């Protein structure tokens, strides 16, 4: 249930609503806007509580039930777009933010070359996996702590914030002590203890869509992060599993406007894991920007043929630079910039 306070409602009027909710054993989350405060009442038996119990309080403008399973991720709770700050780079505003780098950190040389190339082409956040969630236990699992150290070295050298995946709840503290932003991968979208711990970390989080999950399940998973009081959450569409097998995953382009309508969280797109092939990445990336994505997460490797992970879908530095030029034109055509 959402209690929207009137413009200029006093702190006492808000506190009285909060106290009433607590007396009914409801969870409470406040969205304190510049002009209005919105109080979300969560859990318990909100479905059975008459809205009038809150509508009667002084300072209350309206009381609405949120019929969707997700609450804090919904636009009803937070009508204005959320802006996420990743080490000084903002996502969700006018600028389309490009995050790029290798699938996995493989060596100092590989990471530095990738960082230099993506920075030169205009990316503003460096991606790179140190902990890799691999389908097979026999595949390269990432350099782990050493990978995190290399990422911070690249950040310092190139002045780019870094985003990297955290796979296990027990690694959240370690990864968040190095990374500017945590990534939760597709396979972990519904790992609820990981979400809770990542929410507690106070780092911004990119939540990738589970490749067999609906948008509603995705936004409800985002509620786990938001419920910890961390509103710095970005949603990343990366393709879903369908009957189509000519691409690795089917990019759900319509997820972008659907999310924009129903949620206040920034939306980015990973064309690399959807395409599965470098030759298909540019078209999907441009379509994502045209459809309103706030950013892109793109795999770039200094030498894709030698990549230990996801070489086939990684762009070379020159392909990436060309794509960035094309993306600038697309962004401009939809009133944005890169």
Q: Is 71 in the site for ligand PEP (CB under 6 A)?
A: no
CB-based contacts of 120: which residues, under 8 Å, 6+ apart?
Answer: 317, 321
**Hey, which residues does 84 pair with through a beta bridge?**
91
Minimum CB distance to Mn ion smaller for 103 or for 111: 103
Q: How many CB atoms lie within 10 A of CB 326?
A: 14
Cα–Cα separations (whole angstroms), residue 316 to 261, 299, 308: 35, 9, 14
| Partner whose binding site includes residue 208, from ligand PEP, Mn ion, none (CB under 5 to 8 Å by kind) | ligand PEP
Query: Distance between CA 277 and CA 103 in Å, rounded?
Result: 13
The residue assigned the tokens 């979208």 is 189
* DSSP-derived 3-state class of residue 211: coil
Cβ count near 325 (within 10 Å): 11
Query: Contact residues for Mn ion (CB under 5 A)?
Result: 103, 310
Total site size for ligand PEP, rule CB under 6 A:
10
Which residue, 59 or 128, is less far from ligand PEP as judged by CB? 128
List 155, 238, 264, 301, residue binding ligand PEP (CB under 6 A): 238
User: How near is the Cβ of 174 to ligand PEP at its closest, in Å?
Assistant: 18
Structure tokens at 250: 């089917």
Query: To the nearest whole angstrom, how small is the minimum distance from the Cβ of residue 102 to Mn ion?
Result: 8
**Which DSSP string corresponds to 98-110?**
EEEE-SB---HHH
φ, ψ for residue 322, nearest 5 deg: -65, -45
Phi, psi of 314 (to 5 degrees): -85, 140
Residues 255-274 that bind ligand PEP (CB under 6 A): 270, 273
Contact status: 129 vs ligand PEP (CB under 6 A): yes
213 touches 189 (CB < 8 A): yes
238 binds, among ligand PEP, Mn ion, none (CB under 5 to 8 A by kind): ligand PEP
CA distance 122 to 118: 6
CB of 253 to ligand PEP, least distance (A): 16
Using rule CB under 6 A, residue 101 touches ligand PEP: no
Nearest to Mn ion of 232, 313 (CB atom) = 313
171 binds, among Mn ion, ligand PEP, none (CB under 5 to 8 A by kind): none
Contact between 314 and ligand PEP (CB under 6 A)? no
3-state secondary structure of 296: strand
Q: Is 142 in the site for ligand PEP (CB under 6 A)?
A: no
> Which residue, among 69, 70, 15, 68, has the nearest Cα to 39 in the 3D structure?
15
Choose the stretch contacting ligand PEP; rule: CB under 6 A; options: 2-10, 181-189, 256-264, 324-332. Answer: 181-189
Read off the tokens for 39.
Answer: 């109080």
d(CA 268, CA 314): 18
Nearer to ligand PEP, 36 or 187 (CB): 187
Q: Least Å distance between CB 270 and Mn ion?
A: 9
102 binds ligand PEP (CB under 6 A): no
Q: Is residue 185 part of the contact set for ligand PEP (CB under 6 A)?
A: yes
Query: Per rule CB under 6 A, is residue 186 in the interface with ligand PEP?
Result: yes
103 near ligand PEP, rule: CB under 6 A: yes
**What is the binding site for ligand PEP (CB under 6 A)?**
103, 129, 133, 185-187, 208, 238, 270, 273
């Amino acid at each position: 249930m959402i209690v929207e306070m009137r413009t200029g409602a006093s702190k006492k009027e808000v506190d009285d609503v909060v106290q009433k909710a607590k007396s009914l054993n409801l969870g409470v989350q406040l969205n304190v806007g510049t002009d209005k405060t919105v109080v979300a009442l969560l859990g318990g038996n909100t479905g059975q509580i008459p809205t009038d119990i809150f509508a009667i309080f002084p300072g209350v403008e309206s009381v609405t039930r949120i019929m969707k399973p997700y609450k804090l991720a919904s636009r009803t709770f937070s009508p204005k777009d959320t802006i996420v700050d990743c080490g000084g780079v903002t996502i969700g505003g006018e600028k389309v933010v490009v995050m790029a780098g290798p699938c996995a950190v493989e060596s100092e040389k590989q990471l530095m070359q990738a960082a230099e190339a993506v920075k030169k082409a205009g990316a503003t956040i460096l991606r790179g996996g140190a902990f890799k969630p691999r389908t097979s236990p026999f595949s390269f699992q990432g350099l782990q702590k050493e990978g995190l150290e290399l990422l911070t070295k690249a950040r310092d050298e190139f002045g780019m914030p870094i985003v990297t995946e955290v796979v296990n709840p027990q690694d959240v503290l370690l990864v968040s002590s190095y990374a500017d932003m945590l990534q939760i991968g597709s396979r972990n979208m519904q790992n609820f203890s990981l979400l809770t711990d990542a929410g507690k970390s106070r780092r911004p989080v990119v939540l990738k869509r589970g490749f067999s999950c609906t948008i509603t399940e995705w936004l409800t998973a985002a509620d786990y992060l938001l419920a910890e009081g961390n509103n710095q959450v970005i949603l990343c569409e990366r393709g879903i599993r369908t009957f189509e097998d000519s691409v690795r995953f089917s990019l759900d382009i319509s997820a972008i406007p659907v999310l924009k309508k129903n949620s206040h969280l920034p939306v980015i797109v990973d064309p690399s894991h959807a395409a599965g092939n470098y030759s298909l990445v540019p078209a999907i990336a441009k379509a994502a920007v045209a459809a309103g994505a706030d950013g892109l997460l793109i795999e770039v490797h200094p030498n894709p043929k030698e990549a230990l992970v996801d070489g086939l879908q990684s762009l070379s530095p020159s392909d990436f630079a060309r794509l960035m030029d094309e993306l600038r034109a697309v962004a401009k055509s939809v009133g944005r910039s890169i």
